[in-house]
Chain A
């Protein structure tokens, strides 16, 4: 069984379109994250949710809107896609909340490669 899964694995779309990436974890974790890895391979946190509540928002453009229908899911919706949004997006989860000052291992999904044409 996959611990953290993402769909789709690949996403190719035109500029200006709206798209969503889905993430699910079956680990019973309370906290989920979205990271972006750009072409230079730098991995940066975008958002974090703890029990469906937003706790980290790293000055990401408001075209990006995470949605957490329940604590096992954290979806990423992107409006008006731009060329610079092309990247690999990783979802992750952990048992505890990093923003709460505790430490915990993060488990990452396989990534979604988004290409904006």
Chain B
């Protein structure tokens, strides 16, 4: 199974951009990259997903490298409420399962 690798934790200053990296070097051509986050004691929340092209929505931007082996989630102006665990997930359409890794614990500091 393809796996994702993320840093365990990151800090970001409030108001600055938070760039969260993810490696998925064994991703196959028709597998999507999804990002979810989990704020303490809440259910996971969908952020964004993409296949090949960069994507942007009201929450974040997703940059996927041309070889698709890594991606970066960008929160353009991080706020204290963005403090959460961020999960990068590769969707395996053969198995039909979203598999959550350990994620990156992002702390946004004043």
Interface set of A (CB-CB < 8 Å, partner B)? 4, 41-45, 48, 55-56, 58, 90, 92, 97-103, 105-111
Q: Contact mask B99-110 → A, CB, 8 Å, 1/0?
A: 110110000000
Q: Which of B43, B87, B93, B102 contacts A90 (CB 8 A)?
A: B43
State whether A100 touches B44 (Cβ < 8 A): no
Q: What is the minimal beta-carbon distance from B32 to any residue of chain A, in angstroms? A: 5
CB pair B43 A44 closer than 8 Å? no
A42 B98 Cβ-Cβ under 8 A: no
**How many Å lie between the Cα of A8 and that of B41 in the bound state?**
15
B81: chain A residues at CB < 8 Å are none
Q: Besides the contacts A43-B100, A105-B46, what 6 more A-B pairs have beta carbons closer than 8 Å?
A: A43-B44, A55-B96, A92-B44, A103-B91, A105-B49, A109-B43
Partner of A98, one of B44, B87, B97, B102: B97
User: A108 and B43: CB pair below 8 A?
Assistant: yes
Q: Interface digits, B42-69 against A, CB 8 Å rule (1 contact, 0 not)? A: 1111100100000000000000000000
- Let me know if B44 and A90 touch, CB within 8 A: yes
